[in-house]
A = this chain, B = another copy of it.
Amino acid sequence: MYSYKHKIKYYETDKMGITHHSNYIRFMEEARTDFLCFHGFDYAKLEEMGIISPVVSVQCKYKATTTYPDEIEIFVTVGEVRAAKIQFDYLMKKADGTVCIEASSEHCFLTTDGKIARLKKDFPDFYEAMQKLAENK
């Protein structure tokens, strides 16, 4: 099963001695773009084509703390595929298997003229691939 690894950096910690909670939102992005690239959708190429994908919402539950130099493993799944919005789910685990983060994010997609894309019509290949990933998770 696909997973993405992130090694906590010293500069990602705060004076509480743990990884600052805002950074996990960044790790979600890292893992999501890597996951999409793994499935044939390179975000950098999509962006060159003029397609951009703003984040609509995030939610994140902090189950256990991490710190430098922990390595965390991030499992990404496609949660729900709707007409104009996709939800990704994230599970992050520490090396010992402890779940540290449960999270999700929603994204819409803009076409090159800045309008919100109808995924099925505007990006049929992407829509179908995400549908399959949502079913097979």
Query: Once bound together, how far apart are the Cα atoms of A22 and B21, in whole Å?
Result: 10
Which A18-46 residues sit within 8 Å CB-CB of chain B?
18, 20-23, 25-26, 29-30, 33, 42-44
Chain A interface SS verdict (over half): mixed
Collect the chain B residues with CB atoms within 8 Å of residue A42's CB: 69
- Given the interface pairs A15-B67, A16-B54, A58-B59, the reply to whether A29 lies near B44 with Cβ below 8 Å is no
Nearest-neighbour CB distance to chain B for A118, whole angstroms, equals: 20
Whether the Cβ atoms of B58 and A21 lie closer than 8 Å is yes
Q: What bracket does the count of chain A residues touching chain B fall in?
A: 35 or more
- Interfacial residues of chain A within 42-58, with CB under 8 A of chain B in the complex: 42-44, 47, 52, 54-58
A9 interface residue per 8 A CB criterion: yes
Contact indicator per residue, chain A 58-71, by CB within 8 Å of chain B (1) or not (0): 11111001011100
> Is A131 positioned at the interface, with any CB of B under 8 Å from its CB?
no
Tell whether, in the assembled complex, residue B21 and residue A25 are in contact, meaning their CB atoms are under 8 Å apart.
yes
Q: Which residue of B lies closest to A13 (CB)?
A: B15
Contact A56 B61 (CB under 8 A): yes
Question: Does A14 lie at the interface of the complex (its beta carbon under 8 Å from any beta carbon of B)?
Answer: yes
Q: Is A11 an interface residue (CB 8 A)?
A: yes
Residues in A lying within 8 Å of B, measured CB to CB: 9-11, 13-18, 20-23, 25-26, 29-30, 33, 42-44, 47, 52, 54-62, 65, 67-69
